[in-house]
Amino acid sequence: MTTSTRTETLAKPVLGTHPLVTRLRDTLVKNILPPVVILAILIGIWEALCSSPGAALPAPSQVLSDTWELIVNPFYDYGGNDKGMGWQVLASLERVAYGYLLAVVAGISLGVLVGQSTWALRGLDPVFQVLRTVPPLAWLPISLAGFQDSNPSAIFVIFITAIWPIIINTSVGVRNIPEDYRNVSRVIRLNGMEYFTRIMLPAAAPYIFSGLRIGVGLSWLAIVAAEMLIGGVGIGFFIWDAWNASMLSDIVLALIYVGIVGFILDRIVAFIGNRVTRGTTQS
Protein backbone atom coordinates (compact mmCIF):
# COMPACT_ATOMS: atom_id res chain seq x y z
CA MET A 1 0.00 0.00 0.00
CA THR A 2 2.48 2.56 1.24
CA THR A 3 5.02 1.63 -1.41
CA SER A 4 2.59 1.98 -4.23
CA THR A 5 1.44 5.34 -2.92
CA ARG A 6 5.03 6.44 -2.58
CA THR A 7 5.99 5.42 -6.10
CA GLU A 8 3.03 7.27 -7.46
CA THR A 9 3.92 10.45 -5.64
CA LEU A 10 7.45 10.01 -6.92
CA ALA A 11 6.25 9.35 -10.43
CA LYS A 12 4.19 12.50 -10.79
CA PRO A 13 5.19 15.18 -8.34
CA VAL A 14 2.43 17.75 -8.40
CA LEU A 15 3.97 21.17 -8.00
CA GLY A 16 2.48 23.39 -5.35
CA THR A 17 0.54 20.61 -3.60
CA HIS A 18 1.48 19.41 -0.15
CA PRO A 19 2.46 15.70 -0.33
CA LEU A 20 0.13 14.89 2.57
CA VAL A 21 -2.79 16.40 0.71
CA THR A 22 -1.87 14.36 -2.38
CA ARG A 23 -1.67 11.19 -0.36
CA LEU A 24 -4.97 11.90 1.36
CA ARG A 25 -6.63 12.52 -1.97
CA ASP A 26 -5.13 9.32 -3.35
CA THR A 27 -6.54 7.19 -0.52
CA LEU A 28 -9.86 8.94 -0.86
CA VAL A 29 -10.07 8.20 -4.55
CA LYS A 30 -8.79 4.66 -4.20
CA ASN A 31 -10.61 3.39 -1.13
CA ILE A 32 -13.57 5.58 -0.33
CA LEU A 33 -14.90 6.42 -3.76
CA PRO A 34 -15.71 2.91 -5.08
CA PRO A 35 -17.95 1.80 -2.17
CA VAL A 36 -19.71 5.18 -2.16
CA VAL A 37 -20.46 4.90 -5.86
CA ILE A 38 -21.72 1.33 -5.56
CA LEU A 39 -23.84 2.24 -2.53
CA ALA A 40 -25.39 5.15 -4.38
CA ILE A 41 -26.24 2.92 -7.35
CA LEU A 42 -27.79 0.25 -5.12
CA ILE A 43 -29.88 2.78 -3.22
CA GLY A 44 -30.94 4.29 -6.52
CA ILE A 45 -32.13 0.91 -7.82
CA TRP A 46 -33.92 0.20 -4.55
CA GLU A 47 -35.63 3.61 -4.65
CA ALA A 48 -36.70 3.05 -8.26
CA LEU A 49 -38.08 -0.42 -7.52
CA CYS A 50 -40.00 0.50 -4.37
CA SER A 51 -41.24 4.00 -5.02
CA SER A 52 -44.36 2.89 -6.91
CA PRO A 53 -47.54 3.24 -4.79
CA GLY A 54 -48.26 -0.51 -4.59
CA ALA A 55 -44.72 -1.62 -3.61
CA ALA A 56 -44.54 -4.26 -0.88
CA LEU A 57 -41.39 -2.87 0.67
CA PRO A 58 -40.60 0.71 1.67
CA ALA A 59 -38.23 2.76 -0.48
CA PRO A 60 -35.11 4.27 1.13
CA SER A 61 -36.68 7.71 1.32
CA GLN A 62 -39.69 6.19 3.04
CA VAL A 63 -37.45 4.30 5.50
CA LEU A 64 -35.60 7.48 6.32
CA SER A 65 -38.71 9.52 7.05
CA ASP A 66 -40.40 6.67 9.00
CA THR A 67 -37.44 5.95 11.23
CA TRP A 68 -36.04 9.45 11.64
CA GLU A 69 -37.03 9.43 15.32
CA LEU A 70 -35.14 6.20 15.90
CA ILE A 71 -32.08 7.38 14.00
CA VAL A 72 -31.64 10.71 15.75
CA ASN A 73 -32.49 9.38 19.18
CA PRO A 74 -30.85 5.99 19.67
CA PHE A 75 -30.80 6.10 23.47
CA TYR A 76 -34.36 6.91 24.53
CA ASP A 77 -35.98 4.73 27.18
CA TYR A 78 -39.75 4.70 27.61
CA GLY A 79 -39.69 1.66 29.86
CA GLY A 80 -40.27 -2.01 29.05
CA ASN A 81 -39.16 -3.01 25.58
CA ASP A 82 -39.66 0.47 24.23
CA LYS A 83 -36.02 1.51 24.14
CA GLY A 84 -33.84 3.19 21.51
CA MET A 85 -31.82 1.22 18.95
CA GLY A 86 -28.63 1.87 20.91
CA TRP A 87 -30.02 0.08 23.97
CA GLN A 88 -31.34 -2.76 21.86
CA VAL A 89 -27.96 -3.32 20.24
CA LEU A 90 -26.15 -3.03 23.57
CA ALA A 91 -28.45 -5.62 25.13
CA SER A 92 -27.64 -8.01 22.30
CA LEU A 93 -23.94 -7.23 22.54
CA GLU A 94 -23.99 -7.98 26.25
CA ARG A 95 -25.36 -11.48 25.63
CA VAL A 96 -22.85 -12.02 22.83
CA ALA A 97 -20.03 -10.85 25.07
CA TYR A 98 -20.86 -13.37 27.80
CA GLY A 99 -21.43 -16.27 25.44
CA TYR A 100 -18.47 -15.47 23.24
CA LEU A 101 -15.99 -15.00 26.10
CA LEU A 102 -17.04 -18.31 27.62
CA ALA A 103 -16.60 -19.90 24.19
CA VAL A 104 -13.13 -18.35 23.84
CA VAL A 105 -11.91 -19.72 27.17
CA ALA A 106 -13.48 -23.15 26.77
CA GLY A 107 -12.72 -23.37 23.05
CA ILE A 108 -9.02 -22.56 23.35
CA SER A 109 -8.62 -24.93 26.31
CA LEU A 110 -10.34 -27.79 24.52
CA GLY A 111 -8.49 -26.98 21.30
CA VAL A 112 -5.14 -27.17 23.08
CA LEU A 113 -6.16 -30.48 24.67
CA VAL A 114 -7.22 -31.97 21.36
CA GLY A 115 -4.16 -30.55 19.60
CA GLN A 116 -1.75 -31.94 22.18
CA SER A 117 -3.15 -35.34 22.89
CA THR A 118 -3.81 -37.89 20.19
CA TRP A 119 -6.03 -39.81 22.58
CA ALA A 120 -8.19 -36.75 23.24
CA LEU A 121 -8.29 -36.09 19.49
CA ARG A 122 -9.56 -39.59 18.76
CA GLY A 123 -12.09 -39.44 21.57
CA LEU A 124 -13.41 -35.92 21.18
CA ASP A 125 -13.14 -35.21 17.47
CA PRO A 126 -16.12 -37.38 16.42
CA VAL A 127 -18.25 -35.75 19.13
CA PHE A 128 -17.22 -32.28 17.94
CA GLN A 129 -17.81 -33.12 14.30
CA VAL A 130 -21.37 -34.20 15.03
CA LEU A 131 -22.27 -31.45 17.49
CA ARG A 132 -20.90 -28.62 15.38
CA THR A 133 -23.38 -29.37 12.60
CA VAL A 134 -26.35 -28.80 14.92
CA PRO A 135 -27.90 -25.43 13.95
CA PRO A 136 -27.69 -22.81 16.74
CA LEU A 137 -31.43 -22.49 17.21
CA ALA A 138 -31.85 -26.23 17.66
CA TRP A 139 -30.05 -25.78 20.98
CA LEU A 140 -32.53 -23.20 22.22
CA PRO A 141 -35.40 -25.39 23.43
CA ILE A 142 -33.12 -27.72 25.32
CA SER A 143 -31.23 -24.85 26.91
CA LEU A 144 -34.51 -23.16 27.87
CA ALA A 145 -35.51 -26.42 29.53
CA GLY A 146 -32.17 -26.63 31.28
CA PHE A 147 -31.79 -23.04 32.46
CA GLN A 148 -35.49 -22.25 32.99
CA ASP A 149 -34.70 -18.68 31.97
CA SER A 150 -34.40 -16.89 28.66
CA ASN A 151 -31.23 -14.86 29.18
CA PRO A 152 -28.84 -17.69 30.12
CA SER A 153 -30.38 -19.73 27.33
CA ALA A 154 -29.51 -17.08 24.75
CA ILE A 155 -26.00 -16.87 26.17
CA PHE A 156 -25.69 -20.64 25.95
CA VAL A 157 -26.77 -20.61 22.31
CA ILE A 158 -24.05 -18.05 21.57
CA PHE A 159 -21.53 -20.14 23.45
CA ILE A 160 -22.37 -23.37 21.67
CA THR A 161 -22.39 -21.65 18.27
CA ALA A 162 -19.06 -19.89 18.64
CA ILE A 163 -17.10 -22.65 20.31
CA TRP A 164 -16.65 -25.11 17.40
CA PRO A 165 -14.54 -23.03 15.04
CA ILE A 166 -12.45 -21.92 18.02
CA ILE A 167 -11.80 -25.51 19.14
CA ILE A 168 -11.09 -26.77 15.65
CA ASN A 169 -8.77 -23.92 14.64
CA THR A 170 -6.89 -23.99 17.92
CA SER A 171 -6.30 -27.72 17.68
CA VAL A 172 -5.08 -27.42 14.10
CA GLY A 173 -2.77 -24.57 15.14
CA VAL A 174 -1.35 -26.57 18.02
CA ARG A 175 -0.85 -29.64 15.86
CA ASN A 176 0.94 -27.56 13.24
CA ILE A 177 3.56 -26.10 15.56
CA PRO A 178 6.82 -26.76 13.71
CA GLU A 179 8.91 -29.57 15.19
CA ASP A 180 11.80 -27.07 15.29
CA TYR A 181 10.07 -24.92 17.88
CA ARG A 182 9.48 -27.99 20.02
CA ASN A 183 13.12 -28.94 19.66
CA VAL A 184 14.23 -25.46 20.63
CA SER A 185 12.08 -25.58 23.74
CA ARG A 186 13.42 -29.03 24.60
CA VAL A 187 17.05 -27.92 24.27
CA ILE A 188 16.36 -24.84 26.41
CA ARG A 189 14.37 -27.12 28.75
CA LEU A 190 11.23 -25.05 29.01
CA ASN A 191 8.74 -26.62 31.40
CA GLY A 192 5.13 -27.32 30.46
CA MET A 193 3.76 -23.94 31.49
CA GLU A 194 6.59 -22.02 29.84
CA TYR A 195 6.15 -24.05 26.68
CA PHE A 196 2.44 -23.24 26.70
CA THR A 197 2.84 -19.48 27.10
CA ARG A 198 6.14 -18.88 25.28
CA ILE A 199 5.84 -21.29 22.35
CA MET A 200 2.44 -22.86 21.91
CA LEU A 201 0.15 -19.86 22.22
CA PRO A 202 2.20 -17.52 20.02
CA ALA A 203 2.88 -20.24 17.45
CA ALA A 204 -0.79 -21.19 17.22
CA ALA A 205 -2.04 -17.60 17.47
CA PRO A 206 -2.75 -17.08 13.75
CA TYR A 207 -4.94 -20.20 13.70
CA ILE A 208 -6.58 -19.34 17.01
CA PHE A 209 -7.47 -15.87 15.78
CA SER A 210 -8.98 -17.13 12.56
CA GLY A 211 -11.17 -19.36 14.75
CA LEU A 212 -12.02 -16.41 16.97
CA ARG A 213 -13.02 -14.36 13.95
CA ILE A 214 -15.31 -17.03 12.58
CA GLY A 215 -16.69 -17.49 16.10
CA VAL A 216 -17.58 -13.85 16.61
CA GLY A 217 -19.35 -13.75 13.25
CA LEU A 218 -21.38 -16.84 14.09
CA SER A 219 -22.27 -15.44 17.53
CA TRP A 220 -23.71 -12.35 15.97
CA LEU A 221 -25.64 -14.44 13.45
CA ALA A 222 -27.06 -16.58 16.24
CA ILE A 223 -28.02 -13.81 18.65
CA VAL A 224 -30.51 -12.20 16.29
CA ALA A 225 -32.28 -15.50 15.69
CA ALA A 226 -32.19 -16.48 19.36
CA GLU A 227 -33.57 -13.14 20.52
CA MET A 228 -36.48 -13.38 18.12
CA LEU A 229 -37.57 -16.41 20.09
CA ILE A 230 -36.73 -15.39 23.66
CA GLY A 231 -38.10 -11.84 23.55
CA GLY A 232 -37.10 -8.97 25.83
CA VAL A 233 -34.75 -6.15 24.95
CA GLY A 234 -32.41 -6.92 22.07
CA ILE A 235 -32.04 -6.20 18.40
CA GLY A 236 -33.42 -9.63 17.40
CA PHE A 237 -36.66 -9.18 19.27
CA PHE A 238 -36.86 -5.59 18.04
CA ILE A 239 -37.02 -6.93 14.50
CA TRP A 240 -39.65 -9.49 15.40
CA ASP A 241 -41.67 -6.88 17.25
CA ALA A 242 -41.50 -4.51 14.28
CA TRP A 243 -42.67 -7.30 11.98
CA ASN A 244 -45.65 -7.97 14.23
CA ALA A 245 -46.46 -4.27 14.19
CA SER A 246 -45.94 -4.12 10.39
CA MET A 247 -43.27 -1.44 10.74
CA LEU A 248 -41.16 -2.50 7.80
CA SER A 249 -39.04 0.65 7.87
CA ASP A 250 -37.96 -0.19 11.43
CA ILE A 251 -36.89 -3.63 10.24
CA VAL A 252 -34.78 -2.14 7.47
CA LEU A 253 -33.09 0.20 9.93
CA ALA A 254 -32.48 -2.70 12.33
CA LEU A 255 -30.91 -4.76 9.56
CA ILE A 256 -28.52 -1.93 8.81
CA TYR A 257 -27.61 -1.77 12.51
CA VAL A 258 -27.08 -5.53 12.66
CA GLY A 259 -24.87 -5.45 9.59
CA ILE A 260 -22.73 -2.59 10.79
CA VAL A 261 -22.30 -3.99 14.30
CA GLY A 262 -21.37 -7.40 12.88
CA PHE A 263 -18.84 -5.76 10.62
CA ILE A 264 -17.34 -3.80 13.53
CA LEU A 265 -17.12 -6.94 15.70
CA ASP A 266 -15.28 -8.75 12.93
CA ARG A 267 -12.91 -5.82 12.47
CA ILE A 268 -12.18 -5.62 16.19
CA VAL A 269 -11.22 -9.29 16.43
CA ALA A 270 -9.19 -9.00 13.22
CA PHE A 271 -7.41 -5.93 14.57
CA ILE A 272 -6.53 -7.63 17.86
CA GLY A 273 -5.40 -10.66 15.88
CA ASN A 274 -3.13 -8.56 13.70
CA ARG A 275 -1.59 -6.87 16.70
CA VAL A 276 -1.06 -10.10 18.62
CA THR A 277 0.24 -12.19 15.74
CA ARG A 278 2.48 -9.46 14.35
CA GLY A 279 5.62 -11.30 13.26
CA THR A 280 4.24 -14.75 13.97
CA THR A 281 3.77 -15.49 10.31
CA GLN A 282 6.58 -17.66 9.01
CA SER A 283 9.72 -15.73 8.20
Partner 1 sequence: MASHYLSVEQVDMTFVTKGATTNVLKEIDLGVAKGEYISIIGHSGCGKSTLLNIIAGLTSSTSGAVILDGKEVNAPGPDRSVVFQNHSLLPWLTVYENVALAVNKTFARSKTKAERHAWILKNLEMVGMSHALNKRPSEISGGMKQRVGIARALAMEPKVLLLDEPFGALDALTRAHLQEEVMRIQDELGNTVIMITHDVDEAVLLSDRIVMLTNGPSARIGEILEIDLPRPRNRITLADDPRYNRYRQEVLRFLYEKQRKVEHLAERREKTAGAAPAKKARA
User: Where along the sequence are the contacts to partner 1 (CB under 8 A)?
Assistant: 178-181, 183-184, 186-190, 194, 198-199, 202-203, 205, 277-283
In the bound complex, what is the minimum distance in angstroms from residue 181's beta carbon to partner 1? 7
Nearer to partner 1, 2 or 282 (CB): 282
Nearer to partner 1, 147 or 181 (CB): 181
Q: Which residues of 145-164 are buried (b: 16+ CB within 10 A; e: fewer)?
A: eeeeebebbbbbbbbbbbbb
Please tell me the distance from the alpha carbon of residue 205 to that of residue 199, in angstroms, as a whole number.
10
In the bound complex, what is the minimum distance in angstroms from residue 280's beta carbon to partner 1? 5
- Those residues whose C-beta lies under 8 Å from the C-beta of residue 5, and which sit 6 or more positions away, are 23, 26, 27
In the bound complex, what is the minimum distance in angstroms from residue 183's beta carbon to partner 1? 6
Please tell me the distance from the alpha carbon of residue 63 to that of residue 43, in angstroms, as a whole number.
12
In the bound complex, what is the minimum distance in angstroms from residue 59's beta carbon to partner 1? 52
In the bound complex, what is the minimum distance in angstroms from residue 261's beta carbon to partner 1? 31
Neighbours of 264 (CB within 10 A): 11
Nearer to partner 1, 133 or 282 (CB): 282
Nearer to partner 1, 167 or 204 (CB): 204
In the bound complex, what is the minimum distance in angstroms from residue 188's beta carbon to partner 1? 5
Nearer to partner 1, 23 or 198 (CB): 198
Strand partners, 242: none
Nearer to partner 1, 3 or 283 (CB): 283
Please tell me the distance from the alpha carbon of residue 112 to that of residue 273, in angstroms, as a whole number.
18
Q: Give which of 241, 259, 261 is closest to 251, Cα–Cα.
A: 241
Element housing 126 (H / E): helix 118-131
